[in-house]
Structure 1
Amino acid sequence: MSLSLSSLQNIPTCYASCSIGCKDEHTLPKKLEAISAAGFQAIELSMPDLLSFATMHLRHEVGPYDYDDLCAAARVVKTMCEAKGLKILILQPFANFEGWAEGSDERKDAFVRAKGWIRIMEACGTDMLQVGSSDTPEEIIGKDRSRFVSDLRELADMLAEKHFRLAYENWCWSTHASYWRDVWDIVQKVDRHNIGLCLDTFQTAGGEWADPTTMSGLLEIERREMLEEDFQISLDDLSEQVPKDKIYFLQISDAYKPKEPFKNEVGEDGLRPRGRWSHDFRPLPFEGYLPVVKVTKAVLKTGFRGWFSYEVFDGGPEGKGKEYEMEPFAKAAVECQKKLLEACADS
């Protein structure tokens, strides 16, 4: 499919609330101000931001299961967004939902959380829930894909009662679905009209092309040419196999190559290397080393022209934190969007 620049000009843009702000005073209202002033049309509403705002607004500590308080705060966030011309595209990140043993306390908790988050979705006015592929250890949830499919089908049916959608994302450190092929297979098997994909430039390239545990920052296979060939085959398959209407949105970020390779082990925080990498080493495109343009082009070649959402966690090249003011930071993403589309266009 030819990608003319004119065909890409009306792609709507979104910014994840969790990916801007580096100081305590960078509250959710100030984040919304910066995102709106930069020209974005929507936000991804992050649960940590909602929790912080609820505690500040209601003037008492609000926990993740205090759904009455969270819904009250979500209604205020909806009003603030409407005043700034911002849509709330999704609520995120809903994690470690699928695969728990039948009858377990963890499975009961997963569905309690699902019901609570659906209430919050109603309150804030979004119709989409982002679900990341679980990183619960394999020895706990196993690798029986039929169980993951069954749980996600049940969640999709719960969401359908409210005319809501489920955007399923492959997290590249997931224990059972780290590649786009994995989540696409699961989505097809769930077989519900209201489940689709959240694709992500970092998750795709960071899982199939890069590796933070090697000196090169790349997957170490016999020949570099093989890595490039295999990755291009994967992207071509994505373009050909995934229908555009099953892609609900595309998240955009790059990655810094760690100056020192990460240890290839689970950290004290329970995160695998790619999970730690994701948390602090994700700048805007063209500031890292991932083939972000290649991934974006592959998604656009499906015919997708939906939401591009910037989700960056820029802790600097060493991942130790980065001081910045929010408005220029958000405006840099707008300029990056222009540069990215120009790079993706054939003419």
Structure 2
Amino acid sequence: MRTSIATVCLSGTLDEKLDAARAAGFDGVEIFEPDLVASPRTPEDIRERADDLGLTLDLYQPFRDFEGVRPDLLARNLRRASAKFRLMKRLGIDTMLLCSNVATALSADEQLAASQLRVLGDLAEEFGVRVAYEALAWGRFVDDYEQAARIVRLTDHPRIGVCLDSFHILSRAHSPEAIEAIPGDRIFFVQVADAPQLSMDVLPWSRHHRLFPGEGDFDLAAFLGHVARTGYDGPVSLEIFNDTFRQADARTTAVEARRSLRWLEHETARWLSPGASPTVRMTVSPLPEVAQPAQFEYVELRASELEDMRTLLRELGFRDHGEHRTKSVELWTQGAARIILSPADQSAARSAVAGIGFSVVDPARSRSRAMDLFVPEVARDARAEDEPLVGVRAPDGSEVFFGLARQGDPAWVTEFGEAEECGPYLIERVDHVNLAQPWQHFDAGVLFFRSVLHLEAQPSTEVAAPVGLVRSQVLRSSDGVVRIALNLVPSEADDEAILPQHVAFASTDVLGLARAARARGFQPLDIPANYYDDIAARFDIPADLLAELKDLNVMYDRDDAGEFLHFYTRAVGFVFLEVIERRSGYEGYGALNAPVRLTAQYSRRHPATEAVGA
């Protein structure tokens, strides 16, 4: 599959965008006109620079408001087009994007639009270029790709074809199936963009909320599969208008973009198989197939306050398994929950989740899939006798390692010495890990866990916090054993204001664990009395249970499936812990409790904010 990216997707100068696209492995780029206009380079210089980088210049865009106009305006539009065609020849670009008219069209007559496009086609013939006509979702008279294809068919000119853009089609909930009725040689260009499902006007949705494939809610595999069945084998290009991408590092964004197209290629190959049409000419290769992770193997906490974290783990019933035989890291265990403690270094002065280990069926295959998705590898500093672990780096800088799934403890546990068995355990395993994501990495994190680990993205939610709305998205295995929650902290929030990063442990008896922890000196996060008055009104909770929940600062939720009990620890640096109990098939996370928890954490760090009577 030939890959391309519009320069509008990336930050920086045109030179920096070209360099980033080449470094990420793209075959070509679309030149967004404002990027060219702002460049000090001549069109000939840009063409030469692209040639040196091995990039094709695939499309010049956009040309606007051409068809459906009065004769005098048509003449002016043709003069504009002539100038752009000359410019394209200097750049070495043979295709121009023409957007359907949004401002100057006076007629919905498709015959008139076709006749005017035919004149444009004659002009394009003189310059040896093509025009790809695209129906904008907010076009004045043409806002549907089937209508655009019908006008192109009426135009009946070899230099006039269509451009298919997934956003303009899927944002309007138009079915992509009719794409297969368009001859492949009449499709001149294909642009793809993902997006979250939002209830808003389509223009601001398009301008600010497009995402790379795999980061949103659109079924892009079906879209591209229908395109492939037409016989189209030209570039598949990303055109993403997104405020975050235009501010982030261009090279990092370009790699994320290339990963998204590789993921889309994989998903399209799966969508087309096993009944791929003989008309398919586009090469779409699947990624190495991997099973979803079997379980969390460990979570590594890098702590600047090691003794505080040790105390917290002891209070929850974890045992100190020992220090690694060659490294300054410790293993703490309870049941199948394993926490590795390592000292903070200069690159991470605060406590944080530094890495996650997953048990997988085939670590080598998981590594191969990650490499195919342009994910950087992380080498484990290990001796020959140590268990081999395959590691990669997530977009936020944390490490993800793959260990071989097996019964009982993984082999690397013995590197921490032999510990005596004890019990019973009230914590069984890690239920989920909640990771704070910097603003520039949230969507990339969604794509990473979805594409590399084959986890399933759940609908995103927003939670009210004292410093604004926290966006959260869960990715999980189909059996629910592995769950990763990504939180996007409000842009103005600082580390002292909010604590979105934590590890949640699954317990068989939250109330019993809370009592045992208190006997060891544990002090939970304080939950206000108003909360318990509220849940007493919302749920029919027995009085003795309600009193115990309140006494132990345990929170409660219930749905049609079952009940959810959970409590939180105090924070150590940037990390806190949670213990949960799911009863009778409850699958949620106590979403209504999250604002209470966030406020309680904020108040703990800012005690003056709760002063009364000042």
- Alignment deviations for residues 285-331 of structure 1 (CA, whole Å, 9 cap, x no partner): 12112222221111112222221011111225xxxx76411111111
Alignment partners' CA distance in 2, 1:173 and 1:327: 32
CA-CA distance at 1:42 after TM superposition: 1.0
1:91 maps to a residue whose letter is Y
Alignment partners' CA distance in 2, 1:102 and 1:194: 21
Alignment partners' CA distance in 1, 2:246 and 2:20: 17
What pairs up with 1:282-293 in 2 under 5 angstroms? Answer: 282-293=210-221
2:210 maps to a residue whose letter is R
What pairs up with 1:1-347 in 2 under 5 angstroms? Answer: 11-21=1-11, 26-53=12-39, 56-57=40-41, 73-103=42-72, 106-136=73-103, 141-207=106-172, 209=173, 231=174, 234-239=175-180, 241-258=181-198, 261-262=199-200, 273-316=201-244, 323-345=247-269, 346=273
When normalised by structure 1's length, the TM-score is: 0.74
Could you say what secondary structure the match of 2:108 adopts? coil
Could you say what secondary structure the match of 1:141 adopts? coil
Say which structure, 1 or 2, has more relative contact order (CA 8 Å, 6+ apart).
1
Alignment partners' CA distance in 2, 1:274 and 1:128: 26
Q: Is the 8 A contact 2:213 2:263 kept in 1?
A: no
Alpha-carbon distance change, 323 to 49 in structure 1, aligned in 2, over 3 angstroms: closer
2:193 maps to a residue whose letter is S
2:101 maps to a residue whose letter is S
Alignment partners' CA distance in 2, 1:244 and 1:40: 23
CA-CA distance at 1:253 after TM superposition: 0.6
Unaligned runs of 5+ in 2: 275-614
When structure 1 is superposed on structure 2, of 291-300 and 181-190 the one drifting more is 291-300
Greater strand fraction, Structure 1 or Structure 2: 2
- Alignment deviations for residues 16-61 of structure 1 (CA, whole Å, 9 cap, x no partner): 112211xxxx1000000000111111111111111110xx44xxxx
1:129 maps to a residue whose letter is M
Could you say what secondary structure the match of 2:31 adopts? strand
1:136 maps to a residue whose letter is A
Greater helix fraction, Structure 1 or Structure 2: 1
Alpha-carbon distance change, 49 to 101 in structure 1, aligned in 2, over 3 angstroms: same
Alignment partners' CA distance in 2, 1:107 and 1:194: 18
> Displaced runs of 4+ in structure 1, greater than 4 A?
none
When normalised by structure 2's length, the TM-score is: 0.43
Decide which structure has the larger Cα Rg and report it: 2
CA-CA distance at 1:335 after TM superposition: 1.3
Alignment partners' CA distance in 2, 1:83 and 1:242: 36
Alignment partners' CA distance in 2, 1:158 and 1:109: 13
When structure 1 is superposed on structure 2, of 167-176 and 28-37 the one drifting more is 167-176
Q: Is the 8 A contact 2:86 2:127 kept in 1?
A: no
Alignment partners' CA distance in 2, 1:136 and 1:323: 29
Unaligned runs of 5+ in 1: 1-10, 58-72, 210-230, 263-272
1:254 maps to a residue whose letter is D
Q: Is the 8 A contact 2:10 2:246 kept in 1?
A: no
